[in-house]
Structure 1
Amino acid sequence: MTGAGRAAGTRRLAVAGAAVLLLALGLVALTVVRPSSASSGTASTAARSAPADGSVDAGFARDMSVHHQQAVEMSFIVRDRTDDEDVRRLAYDIINTQANQRGMMLGWLEAWGLPKSSAVPPMRWMGHTFTPHDGALMPGMATDTQLDALRAAKGEQAEILYLRLMTAHHTAGAEMARAAGDAATTEVIRNLATGMARGQRSEIALMADMLRERGAKP
């Protein structure tokens, strides 16, 4: 890959990273401002406004928290397997953004008085059925075998595997977010999910460019 190609990739990553950071900051501000009305009201008012345990809102918050947890895990792995600045910067952005979003979703579940986990199969809130296999609990999630391969890889091999796994991860995550953005009843989930889908689609395009720069396909 030429120096110009790397430089172009760095510029694209910087722009995408700034956009994701601004989105995350906006969502944090939203959670600080919007829930204040609930905290200032009575407990009974908060209970009436909380979504049901079997709602799209609760299902999305639980499933996407698990989905995000693996994205953060994969990003920590690749950060230690390559010295490439672009890939490490992308991994850092994903760690920070998705850990922040996961914290918000778990916080909302707690505020709603709902459990953070459920015996209901994943994706039921989307009307889907998914059979977990080899550690992959939902669509797009890497299997244990794939995670072991990522841990064993180094340098460009690790970069390519990470970008491919994260592309699949984001593709499924963006579809989940789109569904929640359309069907959720709470404004906080609709806003988060809509922004999440937009941000992940942007990173999918960025990762496709990064793979091409490395002579690989998604």
Structure 2
Amino acid sequence: MVIAGAGVLLVALGLVALMVVRPSSASPSGGSSSLSAPAEDSVDAGFARDMAIHHQQAVEMSFIVRDRTGDEDVRRLAYDIINTQANQRGMMLGWLEVWGLPKSAAGPPMEWMGHTVAPTDDGALMPGMATDAELAALTAAKDEKAEVLFLRLMTVHHRAGADMARAAADTARTDAIRDLAAGMVRGQRSEMGLMADMLEERGAKP
């Protein structure tokens, strides 16, 4: 899909993905040796991989709506999501690098949660993710129509993301993943409340 701002998106995500967290300064294993790194099939690794994918789409949707509305509140929310989730994505990919683990899972998404996500052909790789058709509709929309669609899609996206993060906060082994996931839960729930208010202001339901 070719969208306005796609070049900026690719550059931003590419730069963030290169932000490898160095063990000497912010190692997710607390500075211990690589022997303490989580296993490839661990909650920590599974969450890092799946949430990196989940975040990537949130960033993409935020870039789309940023270019399709002049509303400052929506643009500010989109900017916050771009910066926060691109940064978190870079951290998670960096930790996988430090742990010496692949950034792509061999099995289906969300196995670390005990779930089996059946493959679909609509582009939604995990619960909460927008389909190809929904992304196309957002790309085609403008002004308030784009705002409402974005807020609805992002609310669903955040709800599923918060569920994933809550599971990781409760069961991950490393402090880094537990702390990051707990922060995601708080942040995304706060943004869901904000988006509910923004939808109400526009006379739209979630």
Partner of residue 216, structure 1: 204
Partner of residue 106, structure 2: 119
For structure 2, which runs of at least 5 residues remain unmatched after alignment?
A: 1-22
Determine whether 1:149 maps to 2:137.
yes
What amino acid does structure 2 have at the position aligned with 1:168?
A: V
Provide the TM-score with structure 1 as the length reference: 0.81
Q: In angstroms, what is the RMSD of aligned CA positions?
A: 1.8
SS of residue paired to 1:100: helix
Partner of residue 74, structure 2: 87
For residues 121 and 36 of structure 1, the distance between their equivalents in structure 2, rounded to whole angstroms, comes to 25
- Asked which structure has the greater CA Rg, the reply is 1
What amino acid does structure 1 have at the position aligned with 2:185?
A: A
- The structure 1 residue matched to 2:62, chosen from 75, 93, 103, is 75
Query: For this pair of structures, how many residues does the alignment match?
Result: 184
Shift of residue 162 of structure 1?
Answer: 0.1
SS of residue paired to 1:97: helix
Determine whether 1:54 maps to 2:41.
yes
Partner of residue 27, structure 2: 35
SS of residue paired to 2:33: helix
For residues 172 and 195 of structure 2, the distance between their equivalents in structure 1, rounded to whole angstroms, comes to 29
CA contact (8 A) 1:184 1:190 kept: yes
SS of residue paired to 2:116: coil
Determine what percentage of the aligned residue pairs are the same residue: 75
Which structure shows the bigger proportion of residues in helix conformation?
1
Using a 3 Å threshold, how does the CA distance of structure 1 residues 36 and 54 change in structure 2: closer, same or farther? closer
1:189-216 Cα distance to aligned partner (Å, 9 max, x none): 0000000011000000000000000000
For residues 120 and 37 of structure 1, the distance between their equivalents in structure 2, rounded to whole angstroms, comes to 25
Point out the more displaced range, 67-76 or 114-123: 114-123
CA contact (8 A) 2:28 2:95 kept: no
Using a 3 Å threshold, how does the CA distance of structure 1 residues 148 and 130 change in structure 2: closer, same or farther? same
SS of residue paired to 1:81: coil
Using a 3 Å threshold, how does the CA distance of structure 1 residues 36 and 194 change in structure 2: closer, same or farther? closer
For residues 56 and 79 of structure 2, the distance between their equivalents in structure 1, rounded to whole angstroms, comes to 14
